[in-house]
Structure 1
């Protein structure tokens, strides 16, 4: 039996231990009595680039250190990991860990004939390459993930902001091809693999880190929870056919395990499998697969995949489709990078500036496999507001207009707190039950 979490990420803000424990129980919706066999949580960490951004720290004149919101999230996961007596069995980060590229275009891509043109998008401070990604943002990311290292299995996939270089492709001038701001292109993952590659301290010789490709840009992990062994596969953005072939091999090596896939870009806010038109890897280079390709070629063709997680496109959405075997595949978008109330609160005189942060929001997917019908309760929590979406009175007032302006308050909150009924889970994955009832071996 697991105990309730001992600490909260906002520890040290003059709160008593008793109040902290009460608050944690209210946020996570669990108790010692509930934390029994068959119940566990997966933490989902969406785009964090505005927390790690060097521009969003006090040394650059920002009203607070946004990195602390990122550290709060990671501290929360660490302190609520199963190894620490909590219920988080696995964590998956959905990319855009940091903000900036370190160069405009690598020689490799210039040699292939790609050409850069200046556009509105490439003039934006978050798009313009900056060497401080190497000295500030990447070290911040490493420090954050060091908080959870050794406490639970986890995955990190690269997003477009994590690539070494970016440019505006000269084949799409502004205003042509239905693209008012042109087309952004990205290349190189040396920066990313230096922090999160297969041979880094985070993953080297870890028994749960079972496969990798492209130096760890694509990877696979195993974890035991709720009486089952799970397989997780993390994809780079817009994976190529070669990446999908590698992933097929991973599935063949671990047949029948309930499998979760994470990648940076898959669903948009409308729940469609479409890219952001201005960030379309396949349009720039057809070696890549777009979200619909990934569904057609891989997700729908492998019956053990039941859950797909993504970020990238600001907002939230989820959908359920049947694979070619007639089983459900749940697809969930989580991305809060456009939220900025923490900035407005800290600097009301600067409220008209376009700075965004994320406000500490992340997802908890609370699995209950203890009964005859499995389910997942999806909760959206903020370690900044110390609340869930449904318990923050100002939630809709803060965010609905930008994210789902036509929804009612109830509909908006329901898009961030909902249940997935895994009605065929036990029958579908019976062979994957762990040898011991608690899922540990």
Structure 2
């Protein structure tokens, strides 16, 4: 990440040409942090009898990002967290949904693993605060709420689970509600964002937010949307875009795309199926993303795995949509001899680093995946496919599986849409 004098000299020697003076000014990195709930989970700490403190992996990720910020000599100019910062909830159902007539039903699996607990505040949110304090005031950043970050997550009585519970697939339809926990740390009026010039707009107390950052010769607009964003969120986001005309825009949200690249929700937690006020991923595309030509990139987590798809918006221009979620990975737990239940993961320290090169005729994004636990990029990890392919993309060759986490995006038509760097 860091570009030392020795590194630049080595590049010069290899290429046989001088490094252009503006090359560094035209490139930058966005760090994308996805689904860290298994790190912050209070049950994954030695205090609860776990083999190691998984929160150390999350804190190592944040320390790595902090060390590689532009302000510290690196090239990270923006950080986006894609939701599910922590694991547990504090309520069985939030007052807002209860007042609207929603009711929960007992769920043996959910109730056993995700019973409301004050340790959300004392352990999980406290860990998240410690991590984000490492970058606060040093770089523009966004955090969107994932379903686990809501105050409650319950099985809705209109979508009861299967009569016989066998595994996580029989949970029935879940629904999240309440954002007081999220706002307590990431609210628009909290220290991370209050009075920050780059934090340009918010909605629903900060559940939806907008940031501006300058990098690579462009001013970018970023919009973060809450889980299965309702119409009010999409209307607010459209207004933000109208107030910032012409800016290349990135959207981050939690629930948007499967590892097969489909814009469909996870069948266990489909916000629109439970509540008509919420929009499904396809509805978010139809109503908002496809309608605004400034949006060129969408980032998401939630669905376990990796994927990319490209679709033209209504103006006929491409929109790149990228999923990354490593929460199921648990090689670190295997290494430590920890016992893990079905579907239980850690994450193994993997995060996405998206390096933009805006200096070429067709700008590019080089996508890399790096583990702060193993201190290696995915491409340089010989065991990578052996560790993860069978659970994530078993039909791919080892090389193709590596390509899921190490690839280049050509931003075709970017100059035509947004002009030249300045």
- The bucket for the TM-score relative to the shorter chain is over 0.9
CA distance in 1, matches of 2:76, 2:102: 44
Partner residue, 1:382: 371
Aligned counterparts of 2:222 and 2:67: Cα–Cα separation in 1: 22
Which of 93, 107, 128 is the matching residue for 1:105? 93
1:163 maps onto 2:163 in alignment: no
What does residue 15 of structure 2 align with?
none
Separation in 1, partners of 2:206, 2:160: 34
Which residue of structure 2 aligns with residue 370 of structure 1?
359
User: Who is 1:231 aligned against?
Assistant: 221
1:101–1:163 Cα contact (<8 Å) kept: yes
The answer to whether the Cα contact below 8 Å between 1:219 and 1:235 also exists between their aligned partners in 2 is: yes
Q: After superposition, where does 1:173-212 map in structure 2 within 5 Å?
A: 173-175=160-162, 180-212=170-202
> Which whole-Å deviations, capped at 9, do the CAs of 1:38-88 have from their partners, x for residues lacking one?
111000000000000111111111111111100111011111011111010
Match of 1:253 in 2: 243
Q: CA deviation at 1:131?
A: 1.4
User: Is contact 1:5–1:80 with CA below 8 Å preserved after alignment?
Assistant: no
Match of 1:92 in 2: 80
> Could you tell me how far 1:107 is from its partner in structure 2?
3.0
Question: Structure 2 CA distance, aligned partners of 1:169 and 1:91?
Answer: 34
Superposed displacement of residue 399, structure 1: 0.2
Shift of 1:151: 1.4
CA contact (8 A) 1:343 1:355 kept: no
Structure 1 residues 33 and 164 mapped into 2: Cα distance closer, same or farther (>3 Å)?
farther
Count, aligned residues: 407
* 1:44 alignment counterpart: 32
Residue of 389, 404, 424 corresponding to 2:393: 404
Report the Cα distance in structure 2 between the residues aligned to 1:426 and 1:162, rounded to whole angstroms: 38
Q: Which residue of 1 aligns with 2:127?
A: 140
1:154 and 2:155 are equivalent in the alignment: no
Equivalent residue for 1:118? 106
- Counterpart in the other structure of 1:419: 408
1:357 alignment partner, one of 332, 346, 349: 346
1:4 matched to which residue of 2?
Answer: 3
Structure 2: stretches of 5+ with no match in the other structure: 12-17, 164-168
Deviation at 1:121, TM superposition (A): 3.8
How much does 1:180 deviate? 3.6
For normalisation by structure 2, the TM-score amounts to 0.92
Structure 1 CA distance for aligned equivalents of residues 341 and 280 of structure 2: 35
Partner of 2:336: 346
CA distance in structure 1 between the partners assigned to 2:297 and 2:212 by the alignment: 15
SS of equivalent residue, structure 1 residue 37: helix
Q: Check the 8 A contact 2:159/2:274 in 1, yes or no.
A: no
Structure 1 counterpart SS, 2:232: helix
- Indicate conservation of the 8 Å contact 1:129/1:166, yes or no: no
Task: Say whether the 8 Å CA contact 1:159–1:237 is kept in structure 2.
Answer: yes
What is the root-mean-square deviation of aligned Cα atoms in Å? 2.1
The 2-side partners of 1:198 and 1:419 are apart by: 34
Q: Give per-residue Cα distances to partners, 1:123-176, cap 9 Å, x unaligned.
A: 341x32211001110010000000011111000000000000121111122238
Task: Assess if the C-alpha contact under 8 Å between 2:28 and 2:75 holds in 1.
Answer: yes
- Distance in 1, matches of 2:4 and 2:125, equals 29
Between the aligned partners of 1:3 and 1:75, the Cα distance in structure 2 is: 14
Aligned to 1:29: none
